[in-house]
Structure 1
Amino acid sequence: MKHSAKDSRRNFIKASGMATIGFMGLYQFMQPGFSLASTSKKATLGYGPLKKDPEGILNLPEGFSYKIISRAGDAMDDGLTLPGLADGMGAFQGKNGRVIVVRNHEVSPDAMEHSGFGANYELLDKLNKKDFYDFGKGILPSLGGTTTFVYDEQSGNMVRQYLSLAGTVRNCAGGITPWGSWLTCEESTLKKGDYEDRLEADHGYVFEVPASEEPLRANPRPIKAMGRFNHEAVAVDPASGVVYLTEDRGDGIFYRYIPNKPGKLDKGGKLQALAILGEKSRDTRNWEDSEGPDFPVMEAKKVTWIDIENVESPEDDLRFQGFDKGAAVFARGEGIWWGDKEVYFACTNGGKIGAGQVFKYVPSQWEGTPEEEKAPGELTLFAEPNDREILKNCDNLAVAPWGDVILCEDHKHPFLVGITPKGELYHLAENVGFASELAGGVFSPSGKTYFVNIQGPGITLAITGPWKS
């Protein structure tokens, strides 16, 4: 297909209309225990049938319970209020059995109803202008960012909450680092001068937030070498220090960042895009109008990596640059998480019916070095049920201590969905209380508690029960 001009490159990726296809169609009630092999019989997976919640919020299996530990609007320990639209989270070990959780807030600059500074910015003077990445000239400060809470697992009580990053936009997901920090991502490509010249900075970056029990505000400095695009989430390989990044676009690509100094991401590095070895510009989305043959399920494909230039991308066109160079295209890359020796990531609108895919990438033993050509990394389409009674619009994900992948659905009637290492799916929880997505699910380091948000009402829950060892 000819696509020499910039506009024709955009047309080559048939993405129009697919970004929201997962919200089409009627919802049908689901039962737990489905597998990829068959939707007509129950598999002995998961934790059994979901029991009706007498409080009408979250149905869970027998023996499990939840506790609402915070709500948007709660007074925090720094004098601010808890912002709304809680999203991705990372959990870290604190002292004396405490857990530190850094939590994103997917708030746009003009979404005042979700602000942590009061309905009329009356709490704004509790911060210094330098605490903000984008102060919005004091007229429209960016309202995204992160909060951090400290939770006592033994007592089941919240210890404290505070604002840990200010002045960013639509912090959707992110990822934990092996050195004990949270990488938070802006799902936005707003530019300086947007909002009637009120914004003071470009957006679309990754920021690093320390995991601290005591109130500590992060230096609001973007890691620009990791690229400016519609970020979703990141995962760090603890062995190589390589960072993997997803892009929330219907025509997105999958990136990796090789830092010059592992663990020092702000010291520069190389941004690259994944391509399937021997298959230029492979379309992995499996849509009815996708280019080329279907991307097979459970078949490992060797990959290569392509250098990306001009990573600050003033025109938000890194994906088009990548595709022109042969990068594979993905359907809205969302949550990503490092497992044992592999990384899993979700594509919300992938698959024949646009209901979602989950991929697994196994790095080369020489990942990020010239020698990786000897044994390239491998990409596998790990799950694509093409049945909304099994999976619909997978978003944030985390790997459970026992190895299953736990997915949050981005839907008006979402479930938590588990996937075993064999690719079998089951349902772990059902949101029956709010017409809002589940987001940010993450296990505590002990594995005793699973924290998750119900985004619309800004509720954070702690789920406990007889988890597998």
Structure 2
Amino acid sequence: MSHKTLLRTGPLSQGGVSPYGPVQEPGAEGLLSLPAGFGGRVVARSGSKVAGLTWHAAPDDGACFPDGDGWIYVSNSELSLLGGAAAIRFRPDGSVGDAYRILSGTELNRAGGATPWNTWLSGELGHRGRVFECDPYGVRAARPRLAMGRFRHEAAACDPDRQVVYLTEGERDGCFYRFRPYDWGDLTEGALEVLCGSGRWEPVPWPAAPLKGTRHQVCEARRFDGGDACHYAGGVCFFTTRGDGTLWAYDTQTSAVERVCDGVRAVTAAPSGDLYVSRDATRIDVITPDREITPFLRFAGRPGAELTGLAFAPAGDRLYFSARREAAAGHTFEVTGPFRAA
């Protein structure tokens, strides 16, 4: 299924019947309401041990990676000074085999993104923040990728078709960037560019931003109200803006940016072509390629919680996400069930 249909103008169709049927009564410790046939469990709690590792507070963006017959889920921590990222390794039967840190000594690691070569890009949200490329398998030390710019980094989404990485910026007048590495698969060197109002990409003269912020270096740069989550699928880069809660779609062929819907915090795509979005801090909805948005999950936790870190396991049969309230403790969940196939 193509994501191009989401770029059509006009509102999405809402209030229809989910492809999975209606949401049932809460399960998973009374916190999650899901369609029949689906189940949920808590796989990690902030401050509690997971395979010997104390799970971090303020869990945020995440991604899954293949690991032989099993898989790995990586999660950022949006804490000052004690941020970074950690990983949980799952066995083929879904049990937890290991957990470990993959990034330490950084701060405010809210969002990020997975690469096609199975590394995790973790961005720092602080002033002149950096992007760190991390090894989800815990073998190699994380490395800063300074050529990707020094600004309040949020998410990253790799576009293997054009061999670029899209980047969002957590400023009220932030920009939408792309990084073109000189050698695809090596993010050490490359060109940082910013999207302008005309749809053109212009180079950022000084990505290190020693005197002037990257968003102020190109006067024609297009502004967005607090760039947040970001996900590439099928020729479209979807990203959210925290200030106005909007889900945007950037058409990589035409450079057009379209508003998809409001009230969105995080976004990911399933192998079926469906988008899964967290909305209004209490639910996860499905947006189908034919422009229908229907409920999938309801969260009955503390008021004001954020649902973040949406990511599917490589087989597409498990969805992970975290529920957290600002910098407080959080829960990381796994949802299993008959997800639609590709």
- TM-score, structure 2 as length reference: 0.89
Aligned to 1:209: 134
Q: Distance in 1 between matches of 2:212 and 2:112?
A: 20
Give the alignment of 1:120-159 within 5 angstroms. 143-152=82-91, 154-159=92-97
Q: Which residue of 161, 177, 180 corresponds with 1:239?
A: 161
Aligned to 1:313: 209
- Where does structure 2 lack aligned partners over 5 or more consecutive residues? 1-9
Would the aligned equivalents of 1:69 and 1:157 in 2 still touch at CA under 8 Å? no
Give the alignment of 1:54-453 within 5 angstroms. 54=27, 55-76=29-50, 80-96=53-69, 98-109=70-81, 143-152=82-91, 154-189=92-127, 203-212=128-137, 215-216=138-139, 218-219=141-142, 221-266=143-188, 268-277=189-198, 303-314=199-210, 317-322=213-218, 324=219, 326-349=220-243, 354=244, 356-364=245-253, 377-385=254-262, 392=263, 394-409=264-279, 413-435=281-303, 436-453=305-322
Q: C-alpha displacement at 1:64, in angstroms?
A: 1.1
Deviations 1:86-121 (A, max 9, x none): 11111111112x111221111112xxxxxxxxxxxx
Would the aligned equivalents of 2:18 and 2:296 in 1 still touch at CA under 8 Å? no
Larger relative contact order, structure 1 or 2 (CA cutoff 8 Å, min sep 6): 2
| Deviant stretches of 4+, over 6 Å | none
For this pair of structures, how many residues does the alignment match? 327
Q: C-alpha displacement at 1:80, in angstroms?
A: 4.7
Q: Distance in 2 between matches of 1:467 and 1:36?
A: 25
Would the aligned equivalents of 2:249 and 2:260 in 1 still touch at CA under 8 Å? no
Q: Distance in 2 between matches of 1:316 and 1:414?
A: 39
Q: C-alpha displacement at 1:151, in angstroms?
A: 1.2
Q: Does 1:461 align with 2:333?
A: yes
Change (3 A) 1:343 1:38: closer
Would the aligned equivalents of 1:359 and 1:379 in 2 still touch at CA under 8 Å? no
Three-state SS of the structure 1 residue aligned to 2:217 is: helix
Q: Distance in 1 between matches of 2:247 and 2:117?
A: 27
Q: Distance in 2 between matches of 1:74 and 1:429?
A: 25
Q: Distance in 2 between matches of 1:217 and 1:75?
A: 23
Name the structure with the higher helix share: 1
Q: Distance in 1 between matches of 2:60 and 2:12?
A: 32
Change (3 A) 1:427 1:44: closer
Q: Distance in 1 between matches of 2:41 and 2:172?
A: 35
Would the aligned equivalents of 2:44 and 2:50 in 1 still touch at CA under 8 Å? no
Q: Which amino acid aligns with 2:313?
A: S
Q: Distance in 2 between matches of 1:48 and 1:276?
A: 41
- Where does structure 1 lack aligned partners over 5 or more consecutive residues? 1-34, 110-142, 190-202, 278-302, 365-376, 386-391
Three-state SS of the structure 2 residue aligned to 1:225 is: helix
Q: C-alpha displacement at 1:239, in angstroms?
A: 2.5
Change (3 A) 1:422 1:348: farther
> Percent same amino acid among aligned pairs?
33
- What RMSD in Å do the two structures reach over aligned CA positions? 2.0
Three-state SS of the structure 2 residue aligned to 1:150 is: strand
Name the structure with the higher strand share: 2
Three-state SS of the structure 2 residue aligned to 1:446 is: coil
Task: Say which one has the larger Rg.
Answer: 1
Give the alignment of 1:39-54 within 5 angstroms. 42-54=15-27
Q: C-alpha displacement at 1:359, in angstroms?
A: 1.8
Three-state SS of the structure 1 residue aligned to 2:84 is: strand
Q: Distance in 2 between matches of 1:217 and 1:105?
A: 19
Aligned to 1:23: none
Change (3 A) 1:459 1:216: farther
Q: Distance in 1 between matches of 2:12 and 2:191?
A: 40
Change (3 A) 1:217 1:316: farther
- TM-score, structure 1 as length reference: 0.66
Deviations 1:137-170 (A, max 9, x none): xxxxxx1101011113x43311110011101111
Q: C-alpha displacement at 1:178, in angstroms?
A: 0.7
Q: C-alpha displacement at 1:59, in angstroms?
A: 1.2
